[in-house]
Amino acid sequence: MTVRIAVDCMGGDHGPAVTLPACRAFLAAHPEAEVILVGRAEALAPAAQWERCTIVAASEVVEMDDAIEVALRRKKDSSLRVALNQVKPDAAGVAAAQACVSAGNTGALMAVARYVLKTLDGIDRPAIATVLPNEHDGGTTVLDLGANVDCTAEHLLQFAVMGSALVAAVDGNPNPSVGLLNIGEEAIKGSETIKQAGELLRAASSHGMLNFYGNVEGNDIFKGTTDIVVCDGFVGNVALKTSEGLASMLSKFVKQEFTRNPLTKLAALVALPVLRHLQRRVDHRRYNGAALLGLRGLVFKSHGSADAFAFEHALSRAYDAARNGLLDRVHDRILEALAAAPASAKPNESAAPSSAALTA
């Protein structure tokens, strides 16, 4: 099965200097993949002779500090928007690409993706989901990570349904466990929204819509207590940036130990295999590639400061999601959830637009 990925090559802090090497490495590792490189023609000229590669020109670039309105209304020929258009089906229902990857402005990507692709029936707001490392030598999927600062209990239920579909498709886990992030495990703790969300999730679990574990705390993300942790975008973004900061601190610590006195260097050499393994386990670059769930197309967000190694991982995640039919699985899960859900848990079609996404 050939999977074609549309790449916003101009997005992020580094643009083609990172995206082109990452795409080349990705193609070498995935012989059944193809890429559509989107950006300024002169910047993409080095890839003109690549196999399994198509170049689509875009005259504009959404900068990392551009306002959402600029990306949405003024830069209609941006590499970000043109790349998203490759995922939008034509009149015959066929899309040029099965997924899109961008390292661009998070808020702009979410806004333009929602405008171009629209949301799936049954979803009020898309959510950003990614994997954070846990102590079981695996990862915990966390959502939302910044698309929705203010969430209702119904939104958190929708996030749980979409996250379950993501883990089932990409990780091959048909019945992933879901935890609701809270200040304590007890059902009586937390804000009114969290308490209501807990009730909805327990009801959904009793109807077989998902596998709800219960409330979890922040440390449970890294313990791997559940496969999925659901929270609002404000809390999720703080958790993400905190984990990245800790990983960066560990990396610097390992390097510093080899520049100290001879005794410290000797101790570091003895512990090197353990330190290297731990450093690799928490390296946030290996978990790069957050899924924008709830859209009528697969969109993955790379970290804006990603290097080629990290961006290649985002491409691989998009490839795996497309190859395993993530979009259809999310759609099917939502339909099942809507059929089984109580009226109070069903989406409000007149709901106000999402809060402005946090920019990365």
Tens-place pLDDT, residues 298-327: 999 999 999 999 999 999 999 999 999 999
Residue 11: strand, helix, or coil: coil
Residue 255: strand, helix, or coil: helix
Task: Give the least confident one: 12-21, 55-64, 90-99, 253-262.
Answer: 253-262
Asked if the model's pLDDT at residue 355 lies above 70, the reply is no
Averaged pLDDT, 27-32 = 96
CATH of residue 3's domain is: 3.40.718.10
Q: φ, ψ for residue 302 (rounded to 5)?
A: -90, 155
Range of the domain at 178: 127-287+325-360
Both 194 and 247 in one domain: the answer is yes
Q: How confident is the model at residue 360 (pLDDT cuts 50, 70, 90)?
A: very low
Both 232 and 193 in one domain: the answer is yes
Most confident among 61-65, 121-125, 278-282, 327-331 (mean pLDDT): 61-65
- Of the chain, the percentage scoring pLDDT greater than 70 comes to 83
pLDDT at res. 354? 44
Task: Give the least confident one: 205-214, 244-253, 312-321.
Answer: 244-253
Both 49 and 186 in one domain: the answer is no
Domain count of the chain? 2
Taking the C-alpha atoms of residue 23 and residue 83, their distance in angstroms, rounded to an integer, is 14
Both 177 and 80 in one domain: the answer is no
Average pLDDT, the chain: 87
Most confident among 13-22, 269-278, 338-347 (mean pLDDT): 13-22
pLDDT at res. 102? 97
Q: How confident is the model at residue 359 (pLDDT cuts 50, 70, 90)?
A: very low
Both 86 and 212 in one domain: the answer is no
pLDDT at res. 308? 96
Q: Bigger pLDDT: 276 or 241?
A: 241
Both 320 and 301 in one domain: the answer is yes
Taking the C-alpha atoms of residue 301 and residue 25, their distance in angstroms, rounded to an integer, is 18
CB 162 within 8 A of CB 326: no
CB 330 within 8 A of CB 166: yes
CB 282 within 8 A of CB 107: no
Both 268 and 141 in one domain: the answer is yes
pLDDT at res. 295? 95
Taking the C-alpha atoms of residue 328 and residue 165, their distance in angstroms, rounded to an integer, is 9
Cβ neighbours of residue 231 under 8 Å, at least 6 residues apart? 142, 143, 144, 156, 180, 181, 239
Whole-prediction pTM:
0.85
Residue whose tokens read 């258009």: 85
Both 135 and 110 in one domain: the answer is no
Residue 178: strand, helix, or coil: strand
pLDDT at res. 274? 58
Both 145 and 216 in one domain: the answer is yes
Task: Give the least confident one: 68-82, 209-223, 263-277, 326-340.
Answer: 263-277
Q: What angle do CA 141, 123, 177 make, to 5 degrees?
A: 30
Averaged pLDDT, 9-13 = 95
Structure tokens belonging to residue 156: 């958190």
Write the burial class of residue 62 (CB in 10 Å: 0-12 exposed, 13-18 middle, 19+ buried).
Answer: buried
Both 193 and 210 in one domain: the answer is yes
Sheet containing 139-143, strands listed edge to edge, beginning at the edge strand earlier in sequence: 53-57, 33-39, 3-8, 99-102, 298-301, 290-293, 127-133, 139-143, 228-230, 177-181, 211-216
Asked if the model's pLDDT at residue 264 lies above 80, the reply is no
Both 252 and 200 in one domain: the answer is yes
pLDDT at res. 146? 86
pLDDT digits (tens, 9 = 90+) for 101-146: 999 999 999 999 999 999 998 888 899 999 988 888 788 999 999 8
Taking the C-alpha atoms of residue 171 and residue 164, their distance in angstroms, rounded to an integer, is 10
pLDDT at res. 357? 42
Asked if the model's pLDDT at residue 31 lies above 90, the reply is yes
What are the angstrom distances between the C-alpha of 242 and each of 154, 178, 184, 219, 294? Answer: 27, 21, 20, 12, 26
pLDDT at res. 196? 95
Q: How confident is the model at residue 49 (pLDDT cuts 50, 70, 90)?
A: very high
Taking the C-alpha atoms of residue 138 and residue 311, their distance in angstroms, rounded to an integer, is 20
Taking the C-alpha atoms of residue 161 and residue 3, their distance in angstroms, rounded to an integer, is 25
CB 144 within 8 A of CB 127: yes
Taking the C-alpha atoms of residue 110 and residue 147, their distance in angstroms, rounded to an integer, is 7
Both 94 and 178 in one domain: the answer is no
Q: How confident is the model at residue 350 (pLDDT cuts 50, 70, 90)?
A: very low
- Of the chain, the percentage scoring pLDDT greater than 90 comes to 64
